[in-house]
Amino acid sequence: MGNGNCKLIIHGGAGRLEGKVATKEQYRIGLQEAIHPAYETLLEQGARAAVLHAIRLLESDQIFNAGTGSKLQRDGRVRMSAALMDSKDGIFSGVINIYDVEHPISIADELRGEVHHLLSGSEATEFARRKGFPFHDPITMSRFIEYRKALRNREKFGTVGAVALDAKGVVCAGTSTGGIGNETPGRVSDSASVAGTYADMVGGVSCTGKGEHIINQAVAAQVIYRLRDGVPLKKILIDLMKEGASRDHEFGLISLDRKGRFGVRSTKASISVLYALKDQEHQLDFTNGGKNLIL
Ligand code: ASP
């Protein structure tokens, strides 16, 4: 494989469910500002570095519900979750309900080298401190105001994610989220589970939408195991989304298969995934790529 096969797709959450922090155009610009530098990283350093780069940029952009700008939970605190996995070593690592750090995805990455690959809550934050990640307050004014109106704003989600395929054929997927907003403290998101994030040598997936629904269907892992069975990505996504719609589930995903096909799909027309993708031939985003894209 050469650089011509490199593919990157990123997402910034589930469309109308994002809340009112930014306009559609601002989300588009935010995604564009992440995909171009991360694509350069993909060419130079490979899939994992590209996924980390894209997600760190999105975590730093306050309009996205991940890292700085994460939604507040019912008790007024921000707890974030992030995970990543690549086909090189097949290790899923992540943090659940971590707080006071700038880049949850970096801590998830750091955990790849540990005995235990998933940590939660205060122990995850303590681990980050031991590894030299400083205190960072991720609460922004817009999210605080949104929180104050939280009862009216329920059921609005948001997340960021990235899936990359590099010149060596390595696939990596990562997801980072501030959760659904106004949730009960202690709730566990799908993002740092194999339902929300999964990758192996046949493909990678990052989900967004209602975590409970994503977990009910074990979405990301299902996509990968069906790919392993030789089912085409398009058919997998159509079937899974049909099943989701029939259960009134609300979620979407971005995906890539080993052959380099991109897939973006959601369970309902009203949920459009905010995404951007790039390879040698294509450069698309949710404003010009259509809602349910499969290339
Ligand atoms: N899936 C995330 C969660 O349930 C939220 C989102 O993707 O918008 O925590």
Distance 69 CA to ligand 1 centre (A): 14
From atom 8 of ligand 1, which residue's Cα is the shortest distance away? 158
Q: Which atom of ligand 1 is least distant from the CA of 189?
A: 9
Q: Is the pLDDT of residue 118 over 80?
A: yes
Query: What is the structure's pLDDT at 166?
Result: 97
Phi, psi of 265 (to 5 degrees): -160, 155
Q: In which band, very low, low, confident or very high, does the pLDDT at 148 lie, cut at 50, 70 and 90?
A: confident
Q: For the segment 43-76, what is each residue's pLDDT rounded down to a tens digit?
A: 999 999 999 999 999 999 999 999 999 999 988 9
Token pair of 28, please?
A: 């588009």
d(CA 119, CA 143): 26
**144, 204, 218 from 194: Cα distances, Å:** 30, 11, 7
Check pocket membership of 159 for ligand 1, CB cut-off 6 A: yes
Q: For the segment 160-211, what is each residue's pLDDT rounded down to a tens digit?
A: 999 999 999 999 999 999 999 888 999 999 999 999 999 999 999 999 999 9
Q: Is the pLDDT of residue 153 over 60?
A: no
Query: Which of 9-18, 113-122, 218-227 is the least confident region?
Result: 9-18
Distance 211 CA to ligand 1 centre (A): 5
* Among 56, 231, 258, CA closest to 172: 258
Check pocket membership of 177 for ligand 1, CB cut-off 6 A: yes
* Among 216, 267, 280, 209, CA closest to 237: 267
Rounded to the nearest 10°, the torsion over CA 192, 57, 227, 110 is -50
* Among 5, 4, 12, CA closest to 162: 12
Q: In which band, very low, low, confident or very high, does the pLDDT at 267 lie, cut at 50, 70 and 90?
A: very high
Helix (H, G, I), strand (E, B) or coil at 24: helix
82 vs 142, residue with greater confidence: 82
Strand order in the sheet with 251-257: 197-200, 203-209, 251-257, 262-266
Token pair of 55, please?
A: 């997600």
Q: Is the pLDDT of residue 19 over 80?
A: no
Q: Is the pLDDT of residue 261 over 90?
A: yes
Check pocket membership of 190 for ligand 1, CB cut-off 6 A: yes
Token pair of 213, please?
A: 């629904």
Q: What is the mean pLDDT of residues 210-223?
A: 97
Average pLDDT, the chain: 92
